[in-house]
Structure 1
Amino acid sequence: MKRLVLPSIFLAASAGMFSCGKTTTINSNMELTGKWVLESVVQNEDTIRKPGLTKGQMEVSLLFKDKGELEATSSTNFLTGYYETSQDNEIQLGGGGTERAETSWGDLFVNALPAVNQYDLSAEKLVLYYENNNALIFNKARLR
């Protein structure tokens, strides 16, 4: 099986976030809690839409839990960590996960996560902004 190491910048940034000396209070945003499914990625003014799933792939999603806990799935990996929000719609994500080969869709997601710093939230849509107004656009997951 081919293995791909998750971007070292995410793991290094996460390690730095977990080991920093300052004390932070996790702000659990009740509107943000729940599962969000990645529908499109905007990079350099181009919109990349979610591809169809093939056998063995997972839906790319984020699950914001109470008390700042975060779970995510990329196309082939599981990620766990934390999130913190603050005034002015700032958000910080951190964590790590498994390291199986990613699809190009999963790579877009995993590579963007460490750079996410702002969010915009409506009832059914979550936009996470990173690097020069690039964005990950999620829809609220429907309960089945």
Structure 2
Amino acid sequence: MKTFILPALCLTFLIYLSGCGKTTTISSNMELTGKWELERIVQSNVTIKKPTLAKGQMEVSLIFKDKGELEGTSSRNYLTGFYETAQQNTIQIGGGGTERAETSWGNMFVNALPNVNLYDLKADKLILYYENNNQLIFAREQ
């Protein structure tokens, strides 16, 4: 009986390990790489649309590069960092950037970005989910 239990336990443990903790950078997901422009933010079921740019403001965008590198712009600042995905569309984003006076649109983006934990791709739309199903909704830039 002991000789059967030990191999069964080892096999179960190996199956568990092979299914958990697999982490791959998004560079293997070619659909995500490229430039994405923020169109809308959904917070507490309220949709906030991209405002008209004033002089001196930049589009809020993210550029997902190969090997997990990330670049972006907020309304007035440049961002650099990294991203990494795991199973079931989980994503981790980190980094930093300059800190010049943001617009309210830029502030919402900058404050949400570190809390992003899931992503979804749908027909040239990227949705980044954070805090209780809030969403950053991007369109692929051509």
TM over 0.5: yes
In structure 2, stretches of 5+ residues that fail to align are 1-22
The 3-state SS of whatever aligns with 1:53 is: coil
What is the match of residue 18 of structure 1? none
Instruction: State the Cα deviation string for residues 90-131 of structure 1 (Å, max 9, x = none).
Output: 000000010100000000100000100000012310000000
Higher helix share: 2
| Runs of 4+ that moved beyond 2 A | 24-27
Using the alignment, how far apart are the partners of 2:84 and 2:91 within structure 1? 6
Q: Contact 2:85–2:92 (CA<8 Å) still a contact in 1?
A: yes
Using the alignment, how far apart are the partners of 1:141 and 1:27 within structure 2? 18
Write out aligned runs for 1:31-110 (5 A). Answer: 31-110=31-110
What is the match of residue 141 of structure 1? 141
Query: One-letter code of the match for 2:141?
Result: A
What is the match of residue 8 of structure 2? none
Using the alignment, how far apart are the partners of 1:112 and 1:25 within structure 2? 23
Compare CA radii of gyration and give the structure with the larger one.
Answer: 2
CA separation of 1:57 and 1:65: change in aligned 2, threshold 3 A: same
CA separation of 1:124 and 1:27: change in aligned 2, threshold 3 A: closer
The 3-state SS of whatever aligns with 1:120 is: strand
Instruction: State the Cα deviation string for residues 57-91 of structure 1 (Å, max 9, x = none).
Output: 00000000011100010000000000001110000
Query: One-letter code of the match for 2:110?
Result: V
Using the alignment, how far apart are the partners of 1:36 and 1:123 within structure 2? 13
CA separation of 1:25 and 1:54: change in aligned 2, threshold 3 A: same
Using the alignment, how far apart are the partners of 2:67 and 2:123 within structure 1? 20
What is the match of residue 25 of structure 2? 26
**How many equivalent pairs are there?**
119
Q: TM-score, normalised by structure 1?
A: 0.80
**RMSD of Structure 2 on Structure 1 (CA):** 1.0
Using the alignment, how far apart are the partners of 1:80 and 1:51 within structure 2? 23
Using the alignment, how far apart are the partners of 1:25 and 1:133 within structure 2? 24
Write out aligned runs for 1:105-120 (5 A). Answer: 105-120=105-120
Using the alignment, how far apart are the partners of 1:125 and 1:101 within structure 2? 28
